[in-house]
Amino acid sequence: VSAPCVIPVACSSGSYSVVVGSGLLPRLASFAAHALGSLPRRVLLVADDGLPEVTVDSARDALTEAGCACAIARVRADERHKSLAAAEQLLLAACGHHLDRADLIVALGGGLTGDLAGFAGSMYRRGVNVIQCPTTLLAMVDASVGGKTGVNLDTPQGLLKNMAGAFHQPRLVLADVGTLFSLPARQFRSGLGECLKHGLLAADFGDPGLWGATVGLVNRVIAHNPEALVELVARNVRVKGMVVGDDERELKENAGRALLNLGHTFGHAIETIDGVLPDWALSRHGPAEATTSTGLLHGEAVAIGLHAAAVCSVASGLAPQSLITSVLQGIVLSGLPGRAHHLPGEDEILARMRQDKKVIGGVPRLVLPVSGGRCVVRSDVPEGAIRAALRAIRAEET
């Protein structure tokens, strides 16, 4: 297996490396010592409870064999448990293990575990060192990089996602693609949704060929080829790292982190609606998990959102028709849906888009792909173009 890739991320509040490779977890202690300047005495290892024991053991053994006192706290990776109460449990575990400011919290798991452990890390003693060890494709290419941490709030209006949180950059991200072997196939493909998104905006962030490379790599990536995985993850991390380095706190209105919302305004509007299913869910030829499908995973909603954004862009005269064909090709090759069954009416989806927490003054601000791996942010998209997009993502009922 090839040498790990090291991608520097430079933010105003701190710079760090993202190391992407295979077989990295057993070397966690030496990577941590290098990133922190010395080996921490105590570590709270926050582990996703969906992980196989062998993955958790690998991280724990690496730390204890190097001489760290390591305590494990388990996280239930369920959005209802991504809560202030769960963050408090982690703070109590950190207290119980006598972590001091020079010590370390390691987040080992998907994006949910990373957000929760990172948030606890931002609060404990007003901020301790955090190392992110993402174990889902989505967390590797997206959630672990950029320092956004947080929890959901259960309100009378429903569960509001990521409503409380903090920016707290990790000291290191260690992405061991070997941990992905146990990830359910549908969760794995969901992470490809964010890769496709990055491919459509990467030209301004140093990688104009990312879309083509993603389409070229996707079959080997789905087959868990380590070299293909390392290349895909590393290139996505480089793009995400450049975007967040340029706009750490999401202050730019029409550039920077706002571009990462590509596909998300449409995606968020349909992601949490009960009964909405990916287009392949009702097909006898769909993936094996189709029969157990409940709702949409985040990356699936993003893929449908990317299709919608492409249609919207073409209907607004910003891109040629061929963009839609190309976006759909990437989605299909990734085993992701481009359309959904059981969507509510256009007016309801439009209303939901206007309520998106990133919308200012009720006017949907959409990120639209043009061509050549570039996107633009527009607040003046004609409603007709949005409606055309909503019609395009509706799967035929059979």
Interaction site with ligand NAD (CB under 6 A): 48, 50-51, 77, 82, 109-113, 115, 135-136, 138-139, 142-143, 146, 148, 161-162, 179-180, 182-183, 187, 298
Least distance to ligand NAD, CB of residue 162, Å: 5
Strands 148-155 and 158-167: antiparallel
Q: How far is the CB of 398 from ligand NAD (least distance, A)?
A: 29
Task: Report, in Å, the least distance between residue 241 CB and ligand NAD.
Answer: 12
Query: Smallest distance, Å, CB 352 to ligand NAD?
Result: 17
- Residue labelled with tokens 């990688």: 207
290 token code pair: 């189709």
Task: Identify which of residues 188 and 280 has a Cβ nearer to ligand NAD in the complex.
Answer: 188
Nearest distance from C-beta of residue 160 to ligand NAD, angstroms: 11
Rank residues 178 and 315 by Cβ distance to ligand NAD and give the closer one.
Answer: 178
* Nearer residue to ligand NAD within complex by CB, 17 or 179: 179
DSSP 257-321: GGGGGTTHHHHHHHHT-TT-EEGGGG-TTS-GGGGG--S--HHHHHHHHHHHHHHHHHHTTSS-T
Give yes or no for a contact between 217 and 234, defined as CB atoms under 8 angstroms apart. Answer: no
How many whole angstroms separate alpha carbon 200 and alpha carbon 230? 20
Of residues 42 and 352, the one with the C-beta less far from ligand NAD: 352
Nearest to 226 by CA among 21, 19, 7: 21
For residues 279 and 8, what is the distance between their CA atoms, to the nearest angstrom?
A: 38
Of the pair 51, 237, the CB lying nearest ligand NAD is at: 51
Q: φ, ψ for residue 83 (rounded to 5)?
A: -135, 170
In the complex, the smallest distance separating the C-beta of residue 232 from ligand NAD, rounded to whole angstroms, is 16
Structure tokens belonging to residue 58:
């690998």
Please answer whether residues 75 and 116 qualify as being in contact, where contact means their C-beta atoms are separated by less than 8 angstroms: yes
Nearer to ligand NAD, 187 or 316 (CB): 187
